[in-house]
Amino acid sequence: MTTAILLVAGVGSRLRPLTDRRPKCLASLGGETILARQVRLLAAAGVARLVLSTGFAAEAVREALADAPLPCAFVHNPDYATTQNIVSLHRALAVVAGDVIKLDGDVVFTDALLPRLLGRDDDAVVAVDDRQPVRDEAMKVRAVGGVAERFGKGIAVAEALGESIGVEWFGGAARATLAAAVGAAVAAGRTDLYYEDVYAEVVARGVKMRCVGVGDLPWTEVDEPADLARAVALVRAAG
């Protein structure tokens, strides 16, 4: 049974005043919030359980999921304002077993995306936009033979397969390797890292992270008002 980890700890300062009192995962897309849409699509894809790593306005997230269609567990990162998302992922991985699908709490996508990532024979998979022009500031993926080798914003555009959209699946063994690598980084005081910075260590430990192209599917990360407007348009077009 697959567990979904949702990273929803961030402040979302670029969306203020919408995020003055609630995290950006609760921004409205019209008829539902970003979070509600993610949860609905995860349930439809057969995910069995949710683990949410909260930070800013954690109680608002709990209230929003009071009637969630899936069992929910919550872990809290009280240092969300001074640490990167590796800490939020570390806390979530401590309470899961088996295979997991990890989602950033600000990514909006259609119902065709999750089935491409779940139920595969790979060690792990990463959703990559391999169609759109890669932005210099994007979290890029460098790959060899379709297997991720390195992640980072500093990867040259010419070397990148595409942009990591913030959704990855890890089989049980790969999830254990990920937990060990993330735990080691946090124990060493590297709370300034993005989780993608540790993925290279996961690969070095023998996990093959297969790149799954999703560039043909509508998606967007929501950081700024213009992103939110694109997300609303995406949802309307998807019906």
Q: Percent of the chain, pLDDT > 70?
A: 100
Q: How far apart are CA 5 and CA 76, in angstroms?
A: 13
> Are 143 and 211 in contact, with CB atoms under 8 Å apart?
yes
pLDDT at 171 (0 to 100): 95
Classify 208 in phi/psi space as left (phi over 0), alpha (psi -120 to 50) or beta. beta
pLDDT digits (tens, 9 = 90+) for 113-167: 999 999 888 999 999 999 887 888 788 899 999 999 989 888 988 888 989 999 9
Q: Can you give the pLDDT at residue 83?
A: 85
- In this structure, the strands spanning 72-76 and 49-54 are parallel
pLDDT at 18 over 80: no
* Distant-in-sequence, close-in-space partners of 181: CB < 8 Å, separation ≥ 6: 198, 201, 202, 205
- Alpha helices (H) along 94-128: 114-117
- CATH code assigned at 42: 3.90.550.10
Residues 6+ apart with CB under 8 A from 40: 32, 69
Range of the domain at 131: 3-238
Flag whether pLDDT at 15 surpasses 90: no
Residues 21-29 have a mean pLDDT of 91
What integer pLDDT is reported at residue 99 of this predicted model? Answer: 94
Residues of the chain above pLDDT 90, percent: 71
pLDDT tens, position by position, 90-117: 999 999 999 999 999 999 999 999 999 9
Where b means 16+ CB within 10 Å and e means fewer, 41-74 reads bbeebebebbbbbbbbbbebbeebbeebeeebeb
Whether 193 has a pLDDT exceeding 90, the answer reads no
What count of other Cβ atoms lies within 10 Å of the Cβ of residue 156?
10
Tell me the C-alpha distance between 101 and 184, whole Å.
21
Dihedral angle of Cα 139, 140, 145, 147, to the nearest 10 degrees? -10
Q: What is the pLDDT of residue 27?
A: 92
Residue written as token pair 């990559």: 128
The 3-state DSSP composition of the chain as helix, strand, coil percent (nearest 5) reads 35, 25, 40
Question: Could you read off the pLDDT of 203-229 as tens digits, one per residue?
Answer: 999 999 999 999 999 999 998 899 999
The strand pairing partners of 35, in sequence order, are none
Structure token digits, residue 214: 């999703």
What is residue 120's predicted lDDT score, i.e. its pLDDT?
87
Q: In this structure, are strands 124-129 and 107-109 parallel, antiparallel, or unpaired? A: unpaired
**Which pLDDT belongs to residue 31?**
87
pLDDT tens column, 45-84? 999 999 999 998 999 999 999 999 999 999 999 888 888 8
Which residue did the predictor score with more confidence, 177 or 238? 177
Whether pTM > 0.85 for this model: the answer is: yes
Residue 20 has pLDDT above 90, yes or no: no
Name the H helices within the chain. Answer: 34-44, 58-64, 85-93, 114-117, 172-187, 195-204, 225-238
Return d(Cα 111, Cα 73) in angstroms, integer.
23
Q: How many domains does the chain have?
A: 1
- Report the pLDDT value the prediction gives residue 90, as an integer from 0 to 100: 95
